[in-house]
Structure 1
Amino acid sequence: MTKEKQLVELIDALEGEMQELGLWQQHTPSVEALSSQEPFAIDSLTPLEWLQWIFVARIRLLLKDNQPLPIGFAMAAYFEECWKHEQEMNSLINIIQQIDKVCSDA
């Protein structure tokens, strides 16, 4: 299976799990909030908002446009820390760890 196909499946799984948990938002944050230059938009978005409105949206756009995918990143540690006291988020963390693995190298 290609890296792109794996990533499509994982992004679909992430979105589906967020919907299943009732965490998928219907209303887009403000343009200002989405324009943050801070890592994970920590100054303007919650971790879930960043995941939905920045990460998922950007990866879907890259895949749709056949653009190069990001490589060599690791975001699971951030979400593990954010949600360390929220066991219900473990399913999301697991998917994020898989995304990290798929995108770990070229």
Structure 2
Amino acid sequence: MSHQPNVTEVADCLLRIEIELRRLDAWADQRPSEQALQSTQPFAVDTLEFTEWLQFIFLERMKWLVEQGQALPSVSGMAPMAEEYFRAREESGRALIRELAAMDRLLSK
């Protein structure tokens, strides 16, 4: 039987990820185009910024899965992607990377 992460822990972690995105001023008010959201690339790297992918694809999907009581994905490698994204930026994404690493651990237990 596969391990399902604790839904409360996952929901709390989703909230902390959103808080960090807002704190970094990376929370977008404008939704990307449907076309951009349909990307088939990992993290939609061809059409979205990593933070947009987090907000509009990852967070929305995960919130929906949690609310619907659906199975959560069992692998997650967001922290390394976030480290790569913030390496080229002035602002430090350390707290966000920490939350993403926590989510990675929760989902891949």
Looking at structure 1, the residues matched to 44 and 24 of structure 2 have their Cα atoms a distance apart, in angstroms, of: 22
Looking at structure 2, the residues matched to 72 and 50 of structure 1 have their Cα atoms a distance apart, in angstroms, of: 17
Q: Deviations over 1:43-86 (max 9, x none)?
A: 10000100100000000000011100001222211111111244
Q: What does residue 62 of structure 1 align with?
A: 65
Coordinate RMSD, CA, aligned: 1.3
1:19 aligns with 2:25: no
User: Which segment drifts farther, 52-61 or 14-23?
Assistant: 14-23
User: Which segment drifts farther, 61-70 or 82-91?
Assistant: 82-91
Does structure 2 conserve the Cα–Cα contact (< 8 Å) formed by 1:28 and 1:53? yes
The percent identity for this pair of structures is: 32
1:73 aligns with 2:95: no
Deviation for aligned residue 1:21: 2.1
1:91 aligns with 2:75: no
Structure 1: runs of 5+ lacking an equivalent? none
Amino acid at match of 2:80: A
User: Which segment drifts farther, 76-85 or 4-13?
Assistant: 76-85
Number of residue pairs the alignment of both structures matches: 104
Aligned pairs for 1:33-72 (under 5 A) are 33-72=36-75
1:101 aligns with 2:98: no
Structure 2: runs of 5+ lacking an equivalent? none
User: Normalization by structure 1: what TM-score?
Assistant: 0.91
